[in-house]
Amino acid sequence: MTAGQDLRSLVQTGLVKKTGFGRWTKYILKSPDIKIDDSVLEGDEEKVISFIVKHGSINNSECRKLLNVNDDRAYYLLRKLTEKGEVKAQKKGKGRRYVMP
């Protein structure tokens, strides 16, 4: 059940393409240069930024819990926010936290 939810989330964000149905369903990872549905991301980005404003910082685990997403989705979102300059990463590895710049 969890895998199905994760796959539907990836399809919804545009990272994965779904083909077929039922037991013949296949999921294909899209190329990184394909545009992702920003309307889904914008809501999640706002939630993450609001969390940081309220609590001072966020890490990957907190992001996953906040958005009810898997590790890859949380990493992708936090990386995207960092690249856009909306958040700044502190430290590296397991101790990494994201704060407002």
33-60 residue pLDDT tens = 555 555 555 678 888 988 998 999 999 9
What CATH number labels 2-99? 1.10.10.10
Is the overall model pTM greater than 0.95, yes or no?
Answer: no
CA atoms of 71 and 80, how far apart (whole Å)? 14
CA atoms of 87 and 101, how far apart (whole Å)? 6
Q: What is the mean pLDDT of the chain?
A: 82
CA atoms of 64 and 26, how far apart (whole Å)? 25
- Beta-bridged to residue 90, according to DSSP, are 97
